[in-house]
Structure 1
Amino acid sequence: MFGKATKSRPVARRSGPAGSDWAPYGRLEDAAGAYFLHADVALDAIAGVIGRRRVRGFTLERVVDLTEAGASVWQEAAVCDGRRLILWHSEELADAKAPGGTVLDSSVQVLPLDSIGHVGMRTLVGHDELGRRIDRGVYLVLATAMPHELHAVPADSDSPLPAASATIRPEAFRFSKSLDDGGPGQIARLIDFGRLLGRLVPN
């Protein structure tokens, strides 16, 4: 299986400068090619996991941070193949021993959809200059049952029970788009992605 997937790995076709709007592209390969600075790395990592399964939906994110060392690009893709959520992200790390002084930290995480226990989506709805309804932003949260952080809570001095308790935060993944960050096309695509997961995640 992996051999076949390796031979048929997609190639990103650059249709503009990195950071171009990816919303018009229905295929992951074309959207990543237009949006990501390292589209070949992203597609290679995702294809190695997804194999021959069909991409049902995806959303992409890209943030440029300006630091004393220069510009650093953080990139993320969330892909659903109908039974799994595949998360890829990368960021540039300083490495004095590497040519150019940086290396790309690329990672992929795979979650079965039945591990997602909560899909929450909040949409900001407004109107344009002509009074027509317009989506101005969307926030999507996917929470799992897997513990992510454990915080000890000191015992209440007035409590008859001396034992302390603890709070557990589940692992959660957050995505957002706005008119300033992504524009109306990417807002619509993220809403579609959230609705897809809402339909597919088991009860």
Structure 2
Amino acid sequence: MHRLTVVIVLALGLVACASAPKDAPPLPRAENVDLERFMGDWYVIAHVPLPPEDEAFNAVERYALCADGRVETVFRYRDGGFEEKLKISRPTGYPGVEGDPAEWGMSFIWPFRAEFIIAWLDADYDSTIVARTRRDYAWLMHRAPEMPTEQKVEALARLEAMGYAPEDVRMVPQRWPEADGLAAPGPVSLPQCED
């Protein structure tokens, strides 16, 4: 079993136990999520990271919607610097928990599914926040490696209003093209939907 996958699963703990911390406001859900529009590349601008990605550089999440409704995912980043080793994980998303396309189960190891909530999505599908009820992890993502400062400040304020502590949020360094000449988002092929 891939070591990164094991660490992610251990870090998420018991995925069934997704209770909110005391005094945390209810976690919002983006309304009317169009999954087809949500697909494609998302650059991680800031995050409350999982342990394996706590020193991520050039982090990019890529989604592909399969005919059966699954979302095949490729998450790639450089571990510890722009020239460091490329890390890749390929979880599968299962959108539509309780009929809500903003709530997914994300599976790193079958049959376990971690909570994955599209808590905010701008009208143009250019920026999003993915969060968890426990407020243990979150990702602010944008369609380009750089997010305009005003939008970034507003999005970080949204994250704080959701119950995340500002001191837990790490800005993810993004620099493209990469030093080895790779164009964004790098050499990772699109996720493949298998029958």
Give the TM-score normalised by structure 1. 0.28
Higher relative CO (Cα under 8 Å, sequence separation at least 6) belongs to: 2
Higher strand share: 1
Q: Find the structure with the greater CA-based Rg.
A: 1
Higher helix share: 1
Give the TM-score normalised by structure 2. 0.28
